[in-house]
Structure 1
Amino acid sequence: MAVGCWLLAVGCWQKYLYHVPPQPCLGSDQEYIAEKYNKPGNVYLGVVHRLDRPTTGLVIFAKTSKALPRLNKLFVDKEAQKTYWAIVKNEPPKTSDTLIHWLKKNPKTNKSVAHIKEVTDSKKAILHYQVLKKLNNYFLLEVNLETGRHHQIRSQLANIGCPIKGDLKYGFDRSNPDASIHLHARHIHFLHPVTNAIIDIIAPLPDDAIWNAC
């Protein structure tokens, strides 16, 4: 954990879910703050952004109710830069590219389908990827988002024939033993909303054979 006066950055693995409501692992983080800073009573933690259940990596929390709306605004205004690493099954068509699709969410299946052209009730989705490394049977990609759509990285990479390892929902042929997928929120960069100090945080990779080869 990386801690400041306003915010807490936590590296999370698949068993934790930071969505709404953000309950499953807040308790341990609150206990950490209470113990480290000798804070009596209830400890405040506000979730600044979401991390879907199968995904690992960084999540930012606000440590005060005053900090939460300011940190939220950074992410809403796209002033916070988030970088993801993904391990995919097939080699992408290009070593680097910008993908533009229109995503349509199906609430019944909790899945977003990527379309090449706009369709009814779809939302435009843009991401940039770069191939960082060829592994034995997979490829490591770095992904940066321009938009933040439901399952965007998973859906768009699947559309170009590169499903993420372990992601049965989007076309990978088998699940990972722990039900995770190999999509990791690797890096977050932003300016502190009060001090303007540069906040630059990298999340360690999960400990498994494939991530260890990266």
Structure 2
Amino acid sequence: MTPTDPPLDPARILFEDHHLLIVNKPAPLLTQAPPNVPNLESMVKAYIKEKYAKPGGVYLGVPHRLDRPVSGVICFARNTKAAQRVHEQFQERTVRKVYWAAVVGEVTPETGRWEDWIRKVPDESRTVRAKPNEPGAKLATLEYRVLQPIPGGTLIEFQPLSGRMHQLRVQSAWRGHPVFGDTAYAESPPFGPAAELPRDRVIALHARRLELIHPFKKEPLVAEATVPDYWAPLGLDSGS
């Protein structure tokens, strides 16, 4: 734990055993960061060290990440074997990830599949359109369904079928439906608490649910995270 890290709120823990710890990540917190920069990984390590009175260092595997302005479910592994087995599930695309997003405008039709060729810009945290035969081009695929209309837009559920950088954000923005608060790829209305620095801004993208197979019990494990309080002005249906 770095001197600048706040303690992990136990209410954010969605699942915990000797192998996994699944957390509802707050935004705009980094998943991982260099020393002395607040991040979720070091907060979780500090929580484990204190709760289980570990005298030495704490191992923590990080099989996937969430972008800084994104909230929601993230899974950590507490031993190397669990980390390896969960990482393999992510690599093999057997983990089901479900996101909620508040996007601009009316999304039609109510269900569908989006496919785009995208390319990560070298040395930048940014993705651009690409042609299929372009160096570095990768196919981004997702399925979506409309959940409900909201003021100024639509609450939509995404299930990414590929794991490309910012794919939910760019695929939605390219179709005229940028995520609220996400000005990186299109004009978008403000969202969430006011922030002076761009790095402290949040966007209306939330990792709602994660479904995987427990690495040792071999049983389905489903973790679901409620949306942050600052989503309240969107007027979501109960149970969110």
1:9 and 1:60 in contact (8 A); partners too: yes
2:150 and 2:234 in contact (8 A); partners too: no
Pairs aligned (count): 213
1:164 and 1:172 in contact (8 A); partners too: no
Q: Residue 120 in 1 paired to residue 120 in 2?
A: no
Match of 1:185 in 2: 207
Output aligned runs, 1:151-170, within 5 Å.
151-170=166-185
Q: SS in structure 2 opposite 1:75?
A: helix
- Percent identity between matched residues is 35
Letter in 2 for 1:188: L
| Alpha-carbon shift at residue 92 of structure 1 (Å) | 1.5
Letter in 2 for 1:58: V
What whole-Å deviation, never above 9, does each CA across 1:159-201 have from its counterpart, x for those lacking one? 1111000000111334432411100011001111221122110
Letter in 2 for 1:80: V
Q: What is the rounded CA distance, in whole Å, between the counterparts of 1:212 and 1:9 in structure 2?
A: 27
Match of 2:21 in 1: 8
Residue number among 37, 49, 54 corresponding to 2:52 in the alignment: 37
| Alpha-carbon shift at residue 28 of structure 1 (Å) | 2.3
Match of 1:61 in 2: 76
Match of 1:79 in 2: 94
Q: Cα gap change, 1:175/1:106 in structure 2, threshold over 3 Å: closer, same or farther?
A: farther
What whole-Å deviation, never above 9, does each CA across 1:66-107 have from its counterpart, x for those lacking one? 221111111111111110001001111311110011012223
Q: What is the rounded CA distance, in whole Å, between the counterparts of 2:145 and 2:203 in structure 1?
A: 19
| Alpha-carbon shift at residue 114 of structure 1 (Å) | 3.6
Q: Residue 210 in 1 paired to residue 223 in 2?
A: no
Letter in 2 for 1:68: A
Calculate the aligned-residue CA RMSD, in Å. Answer: 2.1
1:19 and 1:52 in contact (8 A); partners too: no
Output aligned runs, 1:128-139, within 5 Å.
128-139=143-154
2:179 and 2:188 in contact (8 A); partners too: no
Q: Cα gap change, 1:75/1:25 in structure 2, threshold over 3 Å: closer, same or farther?
A: same
Q: What is the rounded CA distance, in whole Å, between the counterparts of 1:74 and 1:109 in structure 2?
A: 27
Higher mean Cα deviation, 126-135 or 38-47? 38-47
Higher mean Cα deviation, 38-47 or 183-192? 38-47
Q: What is the rounded CA distance, in whole Å, between the counterparts of 2:93 and 2:156 in structure 1?
A: 21
Residue number among 83, 95, 99 corresponding to 2:114 in the alignment: 99
5+ residue gaps, structure 1:
none
Letter in 2 for 1:202: E
Q: SS in structure 2 opposite 1:213?
A: coil
| Alpha-carbon shift at residue 111 of structure 1 (Å) | 2.1
1:192 and 1:199 in contact (8 A); partners too: yes
